[in-house]
Amino acid sequence: MHYVTWLGLWVKTKCMHRDEFIVVGWTDPEGSRPWLGAILLAYYDEDGRLVYAGRAGVGIDDAELERLWRRLQPFAISEMPLEIPPPRTSRFGSPLVLSRVHWVRPELVAEVKYLTWTDEHLLRQVVYEGLREDKPAADVRRPLPHPKPTASTSPARPSPHPKPAASPGVTRPSTRARSRRLPVPAENILQLLPDAVAPSREELAAYWRTVADDALAYLARRPLKLVRHTKGITFYHMGPLPEIPPAVKQLTLEKRKGGIGTRLWIEDLAGLLGLVELRVVEIHPWGATVDDIEHPDTLVFDLDPGEGVGWQFVVETAFRLRDMLAAKGHDCSPKTTGGKGLHVMVPISRGMSWDAAHAYTRYIAYRLAATAPDRYVTSATVARTGKLFIDYLRNGRGTTAIGAYSPRVRPGFPIAAPVTWQDIEHGLRSDAFSLRKLPRARRRKTA
C-alpha cells in the first residue's frame, strides 16, 4: 500500500495478512542456524485433501527454534502427509530439497503473517508468529484470497494530495485480488465453491416436502454447517445471517478458540423450508444434538477412494470396517455421499467426549489401514493414487459430514442417502440417487 508523508512524498509499505496453517514438516537448518530451517505449511481443501501452502522460517529466534523442534518430534512420521508433493522450485525463495525435509502428522497449527499468494498458490514472504495450541488442525482451510498490494506508476514528483483509487496511474488489481469483490460480505464466506452447481429454491422446497419425514431423523436438532447459494456464488457460510425465519432455531455456544458463536438448527419441515429461504443448498450436521453438543451420538468414517481405486474395493473396505466395528459391539450402516466414496455411520451412546471420539476413530482407522498398508492411507497423502483414504477426521467438535438426504452442489444434484448393506452388496453406487431420482420408497410416496 502507499501513503503520503508530511513532506508530500509517496512511501510504499507492505500490506501483510495473518492466517493459520497446518504444520506438516520441517527442514534441516543451514549454516549456523540451530535446530531447524523452516516449518512446512498446509491446509485442507474442500475435499479434505491436505495441500501444501509454503514454508515459514523468518521470525523464529533460537529459543523458539529449540522449543518448536522439540514440540514437533512426537509427531514425526516417515510418509509425506500431502496430497501433492511440494514444488521443488519457485520464483520466490530457494528450492525445497525433499531429502532435507522431516514430515510430521498434520495435527499442529501455526499462525503466520504473509504478503500474498503466488501464482503457484504458495505463500510469499512468510513470518512465523507462533503455534495455535487452541486451534484444531481439522478446521484449517485455505483462507479467502487477499487483494495484492498495488504498485503506483505515476510520476515520481512529490504530490501533497492522495491519489484517487481509480487513478490511471494505479495498476489494476490481479484476478485474485478482484475476486475479493464479491456480492456477499467476505466475513460470511468460510470457503468459496467456485465449481458448484446449485438447484433452484423451488426445486429444493419441493424435494424437502417429499423427503422431510425421513430426512429429519438425521438432520433435526443438530447444529448445522451450511452451504449457501446466493447472488450467483456458492460458499460455506460463517458469521451473521440475514433475517432468520422463525422455524429455524439458533444455538449459542462457546467456540473452541474462545468467544461465543451461533449455529442454526431445525426440527421440522418448516425449518427445512426456512433453510431454503436462507438459500441453503447443502446441510452438514454435527455428530451431536443441540441437547448435548459436547458428547457425540454418531461417529462417521469417510471412505474416500483415490484415483485408480475401483468401486468394488470401496465396498470391500466398507464391509471390512463393518465387521471390525461389529466385533466391538457397534451396529453401523452405510450412507452414499453423492460422490465417489461411502460413509459408514456409527451410532453410539452419549458417554464419549469429542476428544475420545477422535482418538477412538483414529485407532479404528489405523487398525483397518494396517490390514492392507499398500492399499490404505489415513491421511490425504501424495501416495493416494491406487489407495483409499480412511478419513476419521470428521469426528471432532464442530467438524461435520454431509447430511443424510442433503443434496450436493454438483452437476445432476446427487443426494447423500442412507442405504442398507444389502443395497451396497447388490451393486448400489454412491451416486445412485439425485434430486430427480429418489430412492424407490420415496418414488412410491410421490406417485
Give the tens place of pLDDT for each residue, 61-117: 877 888 899 889 888 898 899 977 888 666 656 778 888 899 999 999 999 999 888
Domain coordinates in residue numbering, the chain: 17-139, 201-285, 298-396+414-446
CB burial of residue 215 (10 Å; 0-12, 13-18, 19+): buried
Residue 330 predicted with pLDDT over 80 = yes
- Number of other residues whose CB lies within 10 A of the CB of residue 331: 9
Residue 220 predicted with pLDDT over 90 = yes
Residue predicted with more confidence, 239 or 210: 210
Which of 9-23, 182-196, 345-359 is most confident?
A: 345-359
Q: How far apart are CA 391 and CA 364, in angstroms?
A: 11
Average pLDDT of every residue of the chain:
84
Residue predicted with more confidence, 189 or 408: 408
Q: C-alpha cell of 306?
A: 483415490
Alpha carbon separation from 372 to 10, 356, 378, 387, 388 (Å, rounded): 63, 25, 12, 10, 10
114: Cβ–Cβ under 8 A, 6 or more apart, which residues?
A: 16, 17, 19, 54, 123, 124, 125, 126, 127
**pTM of the entire predicted model:** 0.64
Q: How far apart are CA 248 and CA 235, in angstroms?
A: 20
CB burial of residue 175 (10 Å; 0-12, 13-18, 19+): exposed
Q: What share of the chain is helix, strand, coil (3-state, %, to 5)?
A: 25, 30, 50
Residue predicted with more confidence, 84 or 373: 373
- pLDDT tens digits, one per residue of 178-197: 334 578 887 788 778 888 99
> What was the pLDDT predicted at 329?
96
Closest CA to 143 of 13, 257, 51: 51
Considering the chain, what percentage of its residues have pLDDT values greater than 90? 54
Alpha carbon separation from 355 to 72, 251, 296, 361 (Å, rounded): 20, 22, 10, 10
> What was the pLDDT predicted at 181?
58
Q: Are 304 and 365 in contact (CB under 8 A)?
A: no
Residue 161 predicted with pLDDT over 70 = no
Residue predicted with more confidence, 140 or 345: 345
> What was the pLDDT predicted at 135?
77
User: Cα 162 to chain center, whole Å?
Assistant: 41
Which of 2-6, 162-166, 175-179 is most confident?
A: 2-6
Pick the CATH number of 17-139 from 3.40.50.620, 2.40.50.140, 3.40.1010.20, 3.40.50.300: 2.40.50.140
> What was the pLDDT predicted at 87?
81
> What was the pLDDT predicted at 163?
36
- Cell numbers 478482484 correspond to 178
Residue 32 predicted with pLDDT over 80 = no
Residue predicted with more confidence, 152 or 252: 252
Phi/psi of residue 93, each to 5°? 90, 170
Residue 151 predicted with pLDDT over 80 = no
Q: Give the architecture (CATH level 2) of 298-396+414-446.
A: 2-Layer Sandwich (3.30)
**What average pLDDT does the segment 277-301 reach?**
97
User: Cα 380 to chain center, whole Å?
Assistant: 12
Residue 174 predicted with pLDDT over 70 = no
> What was the pLDDT predicted at 434?
96
CB burial of residue 74 (10 Å; 0-12, 13-18, 19+): exposed
> What was the pLDDT predicted at 247?
98
> What was the pLDDT predicted at 376?
94
